[in-house]
A and B are shown apart, each in its own frame.
Chain A
Amino acid sequence: MIELRHITKRCGTTLALDDVSLDVRPGERLALIGENGAGKSSLMNVLYGLYQPDAGEVCFDGRAVKVKTPAEALVRGVGMVHQHFTLVPTLTVTENVVLGHEPTKGGRLDLARARREVDATCAKFGFQLDTGAVVRELSVGSQQKVEIVKALHRGVKTLILDEPTAVLTPQEADELFAVTRRLSDEGMAVVLISHKLREVLSFATRIAVLRRGKKVGERTPAETTEDELARLMISGDVPLSPQRGEDRGEGPKPIRLSLTNLSAPGLTNVSLDVRAGEILGIAGVDGNGQRELAEVVTGLRPWTSGTFTLDGRALTTWNPRLAHQSGLAHIPEDRLRRALISDLTVEENVSLGRHQSAPFAKGPFIDFTQRRTITTALLEANDVRPREPELRAGGLSGGNQQKLVVGRELDAKPKLLVVVQPTRGLDIAAVAAVREKLFAERQRGCAVLLVSLDLDEVLELSDRVLVMYAGSISGEFQKGEFDERVIGRRMLGVKDA
C-alpha cells in the first residue's frame, strides 16, 4: 500500500498541490479527477519521482521513502504511462519494452531472449501484441499497450495511466479498460487520471477529486453521480451545457464550402459540403488528415488536385489573407502557434488579421483609440480575464487565451468558421462558453467546420459527422443516427459495419 501524506508542491507563485493526502491500495482502481491544472498529474508525478514535493512524504508500506527519479519509482513497483508516449518509433515492440535493462549475453544484446521474455509478459497479462512489429507502424491504441507492457515487464505493482482514453477510439478505450480491470483483479493497483466522468464512474472502484491543488472529496461510484462529481471539480454550480438552437425549418440552406475530390499532401480525394447554419464535425484518430484538411481550407496548405468551391465560386488562388477577406475565421488547434503571439499585448492580438483596415487602422497608421475601444468591448463580451488590453497575451491562462481567440474570430462575423480542437485543455466553464459561441454562430447562419479528436465533442456539437481515416473520408453520419460503435470502426478504417 502506498500513502501520499500531506504533499505540498509549489510551482513558482502558485500552489500546484496543497497538503494532499491519498492512499493507493492493491487491487483497486482509483480514479483521480479534476479540471486542468487541478494537480492530478502533479500528484502522480510526485509518486513517480518526476517532481520532488516541497513538503509531505511518500510512504511505501508504512515507511517514508524519497523517490528521486522514475527509475527509483520503478524499483518500488510504480509505473506510469503518460499522455504522450515515450516510445522510440523506429524500434520494435520488444526493443522498446526492454530498452534500459536489456538482457545480454557476453555483453551483447540477446534479442531472442528479450523477445521470449516480452512474449511471456504479454501472455501473462493477456495482451495481444506482435512483439516483432516496429512501433511506428502500430495504431495509437497498440502503442499504448506497448507502454503498459513496458511497465508490467518491469514488474510494477502500481500502474498510473494519465488521461489514457484521450487518444483512443471507443473500442480501444473499452479494450483498455477490460485489460486494466484484469490487472486490478490480479492484485495490482491501477490509478486512472481523467476528466471524463462517465468512464470514471464505470471503471473505478474509488474516486478522488482534486480542485486547485486540494483534495476536495473521495467517493465510490455507487454513492455518487456525474452531477455531484462535476460540482466537486468546479466549486459552485456546473454551467448548463449549452443548447443548440431550434432549426427554423426553412429547407436546405445554401452550400458555403464545397470540396470535390480534393487531394493534398496528407489528403486523398476528399469531398465534402458545409452549408450555412450547419456544424459539420470531422471525427478521426489523430493523424488521419484532419489537420491537413483544416490547413487546406484556411489557406495554409496548397492542394494538388480537385476543386475547392466557396459560395459557389471555384478558387484558383487561396491563402490566409484571401481567406480573411472572404469571411473565413479560423480557430486553430495550437493557439500559441497560429492564433496568438504571446509577446504581443492583448489588444495587438485582437487587431491581428484585421490590423490593416478600419476600424483598426486609419490609412497607414494604427488607430490606437479604436483598437482600445474594440478590445475593451471584446474582453467584456467574452469574459476574458483580466480585462487588461495592455497585458502580454502569453500572460493569460489557456482558457482566457482561447476565449480571446474565439472572441476575435467571431467578432469579424464570419461566413465560414474552421475550428480545430476548440476546447482542448480548457476548464468546464470555458468549454461551455466556447461551445455556446459555436452554437450561436450556427444560429446566425455561419457554416462551421469542426475538427476534434474528442469524439464526444464532435457528436455533441455536430449536425453531421464525417469520419476521416488515412487522409480520406471513411463514413458520413447524420445527427440522430450517430452510433459510437460504427463511427469508432470507421475511425479505424474498418469498412463493413
Chain B
Amino acid sequence: MRKALPSVLSVVSAIILCFFAAALTRDFGTAVDAFLAMWWGAFGDWPKFFETGSAATILRPLGEAGTKAAILTFTGLSVAVAFRVGLFNIGAQGQLVVGALAAAVVGAKVNAPGFVHVTLCLAAAAAAGGLYALIPAVLKLKRGVHEVISTIMLNWVAISLVDNWLVIGPLKATASGDNSISGTDQILPSAELPRLLGETSRLNFGLVLALFAALGTWLFLTRFTRGFEWKAIGLSQDAARAAGIDVDRGFLEAMVLAGAFAGLGGAVLILGTELKYPATLGAPWGFDGIAMALIGQGHPLGVLAISTLFGGLRAGGTRMQLFGVHKSFPELIQGLALLLVAAKLLWERLLRKRGTP
C-alpha cells in the first residue's frame, strides 16, 4: 500500500494543479462547475440521481468510464508486462492498430455463431498484436536493435499501413446507396461484444475481459515461477543468466504477451464501441498505455485502478465543454500526473539513498 502512495499523491496533486490552472484562466466558479461536471460525468451524477431517481444518471457515465477504462487497461498492461522484463514497449499503439484491424476484418468477413465469432475476433487481434510485437523482440535478440527505437518506428509503420492505405484502400467499406462511408465494413452482429447494461450504455464485455486480464497478469507475475523469472530478468539480466534463466526466451514471451494485450485493447475498441475500423481511431490509446503503466508503477492492479480513474475522467471531460473549459483537461491531468510520478520516484530514490549509505 505504501508503494502506491507516490502515484496517489501525484494524481491528486495533478488534479489540484489543473483545477487552479482552470480557475486562473477562467474564474473560480466556472472551474468548480467544470470539474464537478467532469467528476459526475466520470463516476455517476449522484446529486441528479437522488433528485430524479433515474438510474441512467449514474449508469450512463459509469458505463462510458468502464468502456474507456477497459481499453486503457489493456494497453497499460501491454507496457507493464514488457517493463517487467526490463523492456520499454513504446509500440502499444502500433500493436493496437494491427489488433483492431484484425478484429474488424474477422468480425466482418467471417461467419460464425455468436460466442465463437467473438472469440475468433479476439484471438485474431491478440495474434496480430503479438506477432507485431515479436518483430522488435527478434530484432533486439538477433541484431541488437534497441526496442525503444524499433517499437516507436513500427508504430508509424502500422499507422501508415492501416490508416493511410488499407482502411481507405483495399479494405474500404463498399458504399451502399447515397451514404458515403468511411472506414471498413461493419462487423457482423455476432462479432459484437455483449453489452452489459443493455441500451443504457455502451459498456460491454470488454471491461470483464480487462478485469480478468489484470487479475490474471497479477497472479502470473507473483505466483508462477515463470513470472518470477521475468522479474529476475527485469531486475538483473546478468544475474538471471548466471542463474540459468533463459533471458532471450523471457524477452520473446513478454513482448508477445505485451503485443497480445495491446491487440486485445484494439479488439475491445472495435467489437465493443466502434463496430468497424473507423477512419480515425480517436484517442491514442496505445500511447496512453505508457502513462497508465508508469503511473500504475507497472503493477497490474495499479494499472487497472489508474485506467479506471482516467477512463472516467476522459468520459467526464467532454462535459467540461458546457462550461467553456476545454475537454483536454483529463489529458492534461494525465500528463501532469505522469510527470509527478516520475519526479516522485526520483524523490523516493533520493530519500532511500540518504537513509542507507
Contacts and interface: CB of A to CB of B under 8 A. Distances in A.
Contacts, number: 73
A222 B204 CA distance: 88
A395 B228 CA distance: 20
B355 A366 contact: no
B223 A330 contact: no
Interface string B190-227: 00000000000000000000000000000000011110
Contacts of A340: 239
Interface in B215-245: 223-226, 228-229, 231-232, 235-236, 238-245
A352 B225 contact: no
A238 interface: no
Given A341-B236, A344-B231, A364-B225, A320 B357 contact: no
Contacts of B224: 364-366
Contact of A344 (B225, B235, B245, B355): B235
Nearest to A360: B225
Contacts of B236: 337, 341-343
B356 interface: yes
A369 interface: no
B241 A300 contact: yes
Nearest to B241: A320
Contacts of A348: 228, 232
Contact of B357 (A13, A298, A338, A364): A13
A421 to B, nearest CB: 15
Interface residues of A, number: 35
Interface in A11-25: 11-14
A14 B239 contact: no
B246 interface: yes
A323 B357 contact: no
A355 B236 CA distance: 16
Contacts of A360: 225
B244 A353 contact: yes
Nearest to A394: B356
Interface residues of B, number: 23
A173 interface: no
B355 A12 contact: yes
Contacts of B235: 341, 343-344
Contact of A12 (B226, B239, B241, B357): B357
Contact of B239 (A319, A321, A338, A365): A338
A324 interface: yes
A232 interface: no
A351 B244 CA distance: 12
A353 B242 CA distance: 8
30 contacts: A11-B357, A12-B355, A12-B356, A12-B357, A14-B357, A300-B241, A300-B242, A319-B244, A320-B241, A322-B244, A324-B244, A338-B238, A338-B239, A339-B239, A339-B242, A340-B239, A341-B232, A343-B235, A343-B236, A344-B231, A344-B232, A348-B228, A352-B239, A355-B229, A356-B225, A361-B225, A364-B225, A365-B223, A366-B228, A395-B356
* A-B CB proximity, top 9 nearest: A12-B357, A321-B244, A353-B243, A11-B357, A338-B242, A324-B244, A320-B244, A341-B236, A352-B243
Interface of B: 223-226, 228-229, 231-232, 235-236, 238-246, 354-357
Interface of A: 11-14, 298, 300, 319-325, 330, 332, 337-344, 348, 351-353, 355-356, 360-361, 364-366, 395
